Structure 1
C-alpha cells in the first residue's frame, strides 16, 4: 500500500522501468480465466469457499492470497497451478523465451559442439539467448 492507502500497482526497477507486483499479475490471470469460462465472481468464490469480496480483491491485485487460496481458486476454475504460473510467466516476460538448463555438458576446446539435448518426452530442448 502507498502512504495514501492506495494499492501499489508496480514498483520501479533500478533501470527506471516499472515492475508489476506478482499479486497483480496473478489476479489478472485468474480474472481472465474466469471470464473465459463466462463465470461470475459469486460462482467461483462459492466453489473456492472464499467471499466474493475477497476474490474480487485478489483479481484486482489488492490482496496477496495464500497458496491455499490460490489452489482453491485454481481448482474452482479447473486451472492447474503449473498453467497459472506459466501464464503469469508469459505475462511478466511479454512472451519472451525463457531459458532453463538442467545439468551441464563439459566442453573441451578441440571438441565439436554437443548434439541437441533430448527431453524425456522425445523432443529436442532448444536453448535461446535474448
Structure 2
C-alpha cells in the first residue's frame, strides 16, 4: 500500500466549472480545442479536465485552476509535472514527520559458520549384507 500523507479525498470539478471551461476552449465556430497543443477535440468524450495546480497539492476545483486537454497533453502533464511534484511533497512530509526508513545496516552476529563438508568426493558405501560379510 502506498502511503499518502496529503489525504485520501479527491475533489472533482463541478459540472458548472466543466461547462464554463468547455465554452472557454471552443473557437468561434463552436469546435473545442486543446488548451495546450491546440488540436481539435472530439466533443465532450475526448476532453479531459485537468487541474493546473494538482488536487493533491491543494489545487482548488475552480475555473481558474481548470484546463481542457486532449488525452496526450493530459498524460504528459500528469507523468512529467504532477506526479514528480506530488512525490516530492510526500518525501518532504515524510522527512518532516520523521517517517523515513532507517538507513543503518542491521548489526548482528549473523548465522554460525559451519565447516565445509567434503564428503561428496568419496564413494558412497551403503549398508548391505554383502558389505557386512566382507568385514
TM-score by length of 2: 0.23
TM-score by length of 1: 0.24
Which has more helix, going by share of residues? 1
